[in-house]
Amino acid sequence: MHIILNNSSMVPIYEQLMDQVKSAILKGDLAENEALPSVRTLSGQLRISALTVKKAYDRLEEEGFVVTVHGKGTYVAAADRQLALEARRKSVEDDFASAVQKAAAVGFGREDILQIVEIILEDYPWS
């Protein structure tokens, strides 16, 4: 993947980055499940702030183009949007599973866990 940023363009850097990753995915230059460079690596290569790269990756994930696996990296999502959505749901399920595992490890029972979830759901600002 070759990314060329225009620092004097009126288009924000994170948008330029998003657009180029998107078109690389759509053209097939970036294959499904291929790992994108880490945030720090890409920020170093492009000489832009890590936060800018993170912002671009986050937006790409919201749009279903990539999936970030916490602690591992960011991967190109399945080209099919439906599959991309599946992958994101799966990663949420994985997050729940690991939370349950942690809870069980400190001795929380089924009721305790359900109660915690209830409290979190109550406080969640559903929009």
Partner 1 sequence: MVIVDNLVKTYGSFRLDLSMEISDGAVTGIVGKNGAGKTTFIKALLGLIRPDEGRITINGREASMLTGREKASIGAALSESGFSAYLRVKDVTAILSKMYPTFDEEYFRKNCRAQGLPEDKRISEFSTGMKAKLRVLSAISHRAELLVMDEPTAGLDVQARNDILDLLRQYLQENENCSVLITSHISSDLESLCDDIYLIHDGKILLHEDTDVLLGSYAVLKVSEEAYEKLDKSYILAGRKEAFGYTCLTREKQFYAENYPGMVIENGSVDDLILLMTGGH
Q: Is 17 one of the binding residues for partner 1 (CB under 8 A)?
A: no
Q: How far is the CB of 41 from partner 1 (least distance, A)?
A: 5
Conformation bin of residue 58: beta by default, left when phi > 0, alpha when psi is -120 to 50: alpha
**How far is residue 61's CA from residue 64's CA, in Å, rounded to a whole number?**
5
CA dihedral 66, 120, 94, 111 (to 10 degrees): -170
Q: How far is the CB of 4 from partner 1 (least distance, A)?
A: 15
Structure tokens at 64: 């279903």
Q: Is 21 one of the binding residues for partner 1 (CB under 8 A)?
A: no
Which one of residues 40, 90, 102, 110 is an interface residue with partner 1 (CB under 8 A)?
A: 40
Q: Is 23 one of the binding residues for partner 1 (CB under 8 A)?
A: no
Which one of residues 1, 26, 35, 51 is an interface residue with partner 1 (CB under 8 A)?
A: 51
Smaller CB separation from partner 1, 52 or 84: 52
Which one of residues 43, 73, 75, 103 is an interface residue with partner 1 (CB under 8 A)?
A: 43
Which single residue is written with the structure tokens 């998107």? 22
Cross-strand partners of 46: none
The interface with partner 1 within residues 65-124 (CB under 8 A) comprises none
Structure tokens at 44: 């170093």
